[in-house]
Chains A and B, each alone.
Chain A
């Protein structure tokens, strides 16, 4: 049983690490702000779930698990909210998504 839990937590941790890394690469390589934000925020949530889930399986039933659940809950609440706040601030300030800019270029050759 412990081996099964160990393997499961390793899988979760590895997937979490990969997901976090993909987010980092996306935030660096994507062409404009909104696509970068998309790459960063989606993998942020996914990576947090996977990594913290993996650690939870290692921790077993203890106070640490409860704290981890709290951390995960607050991360899942705050991280998308700050992405949303940032996107709305950027949009209000007049930064336009790259897709829209491309459309404009096609319409007015």
Chain B
């Protein structure tokens, strides 16, 4: 039964990858990366049980905790960039 779920997760990862490669906007790629992260957590949990080594769930736990940081970094990146753009527009307005 685990195999069915693993297969579904893998196919979903493939679909998410298509979305990440096709885009079109950068946000679509971030969305795909986020999806990929959750799917990886599920995949790792299932494989830990498939291998009969449930003590390796630590890995899935690490991803569940840390994956979040990537998306926040993206948010901060866009915020800083838009702030800089506002500042540039302001300076241009001054010089004109």
Contacts and interface: CB of A to CB of B under 8 A. Distances in A.
Interface in B41-96: 41-42, 45-46, 49, 54-55, 57-58, 60-61, 64-65, 67-68, 71-72, 74-75, 78-79, 82
Interface in A38-61: 40, 44, 47-48, 51-52, 54-55, 58-59
Contacts of A71: 41, 45, 57, 60-61, 64
B5 A27 contact: no
Given A28-B15, A36-B28, A64-B57, A74 B5 contact: no
A109 B31 CA distance: 33
A58 B72 CA distance: 34
- The bracket for how many chain A residues form the interface is 35 or more
Nearest to A75: B64
A54 B4 CA distance: 13
B12 A89 contact: no
B67 to A, nearest CB: 7
A33 B29 CA distance: 10
Contacts of B46: 51, 55
A86 B41 contact: no
A18 B8 contact: yes
Nearest to B72: A85
B75 A85 contact: yes
30 contacts: A10-B1, A16-B8, A17-B7, A17-B9, A21-B8, A23-B12, A27-B31, A28-B15, A28-B19, A33-B25, A36-B31, A40-B35, A47-B38, A47-B42, A48-B42, A52-B45, A55-B45, A59-B49, A63-B55, A71-B41, A71-B57, A71-B61, A71-B64, A74-B61, A75-B38, A78-B64, A82-B72, A86-B31, A90-B27, A92-B82
